[in-house]
Amino acid sequence: MNERAIAGVVVDAGHGGSDPGAVSNGLQEKDFTLEAAEYMYRRLQELGIPAVITRDFDENLSREERLRRANEAFGGSSNAILISNHINAGGGEGAEVIYALRNSSTLAQSILESIGQEGQIMRKYYQRRLPEDPSKDYYYIIRETSPMQSLLVEYGFIDNANDRVKLQNDLLNYVEAVVRAIAQYAGVTYVPPEGVNTYTVQRGDSLWSIANRFGVTVDALRKANNLTSDTLQIGQILKIPSTSSDNGGTSPTYYTVVKGDSLWSIANRFGVSVADLRNVNNLTSDVLQVGQRLLIPGTGDSSEDNDNGYEEITYVVQAGDSLWAIANRYGITVDELKSANNLSSNLLSVGQVLIIPTGENPVVPPEETTTYTVVRGDSLWSIAKQFGLTVDELKRANNLTSNTLSVGQVLVIPVSGTVEVPSSPTVYTVQSGDSLWSIANRFGTTVDALKSLNNLSSNLLQIGQQLLIPV
């Protein structure tokens, strides 16, 4: 494929916030698209391809704001690519790629075929027209991002039983396939994720010859690449499964997550499936943290003794948990908890499994606590003020490293019993024509105070947005 210089890639996570997208069997499209977009964004950067992501958390993103972020990313360059990540619905099965009327099918075809190499059914790559004006694209994210090369990728159908399993187990494989296709299209050398060995099929190769070259079985090679036949194509990239010998199931193998790891790369490193890796570690998401310890499936019982001589029990991290809260719950120190789990930071992820060391002399929790659930408009400053705390005390109690909060987040509130709780701050709903300057003047405060209290990084407001007013 001819080399094409590109300005960069806009990575869009479809839907978000109050817009869940397609929903089926308790699964929501917005969660899949965010996971896909975050992974794609990180991998493109690793390959040296400039990238911008439209949202990196579960955010209410208006159509206008999504378009603004996309169109301003690379200055409206025709050499920029936009990939909008989506999950389909409607009873079909397989992946689809929709490309703009203004563009050729080259990249769309390459993306779909690359996803197909990962074992997903390839439905079609096509253009979709607006019924009331066939000269225009159907999807606004394609139609209103001209002159970029804009594509919408549907990885599978959330309401199809087969696709649901694939999306839960293999989504990041499909996203990696899109990254690979973009790199090849742009003439950028593709390097697989750290820990993943690959081989590019040459003329005369067969599964048997490749398996023998790398000392693996044909079945292992076929399984690692989701192959349904032994037919290969020149230039096809195959993942080579690990040749690590089985330890007989007598001694469990643990792996400590390092920067750049993903469930997909770790699973491939040890020749296991993402589903098995997720199940054996009781993970409810694919988010990993540096320092997190994972049990590798098929390597023995996990009920081992640790180096400290502790009897071990485990705890699965829930939404709102912090190391401080968990340590207090079990009467241990944060340092003991971090040491038992080889953690190098205080960051946790929902579904993460922690080893709880239980010694003879557990510590006593330092103080009584309560919890508070973050609502729209909250900030650390407003919550700390509400409970008579400092922001530092609130951050320390929850092991927070930034001031960013998300709606629904549960915070631990230390209760001293001596501080009078002040009244709640005033909440103002933005009206048409409002600006930060006009609101600040109305309430006798400053723009900087408004921005600080509401964690605003710009002066842009939206009608209906709720602002806390400093008291």
Residue 92, pLDDT score = 93
Q: List beta partners, residue 355.
A: 314
Residue 425, pLDDT score = 53
Residue 124, pLDDT score = 96
Residue 402 in this model has a pLDDT that exceeds 90: no
- Rounded mean pLDDT, 36-52: 93
- pTM (whole model) above 0.75: no
- Rounded mean pLDDT, 194-199: 74
Average pLDDT of the chain to the nearest whole number: 80
Residue 255, pLDDT score = 73
Residue 1, pLDDT score = 39
Residue 418 in this model has a pLDDT that exceeds 70: no
Residue 72, pLDDT score = 93
- Rounded mean pLDDT, 256-280: 74
- Rounded mean pLDDT, 256-271: 72
Q: Of 167-181, 223-237, 239-253, 431-445, which range is least confident? A: 239-253
Q: Of 55-69, 165-179, 288-302, 325-339, which range is least confident? A: 288-302
Residue 249, pLDDT score = 40
- Rounded mean pLDDT, 281-290: 75
Residue 369 in this model has a pLDDT that exceeds 60: no
- Rounded mean pLDDT, 223-237: 81
Q: Quick one: pLDDT band at residue 436, thresholds 50, 70, 90? A: confident
Residue 104, pLDDT score = 96
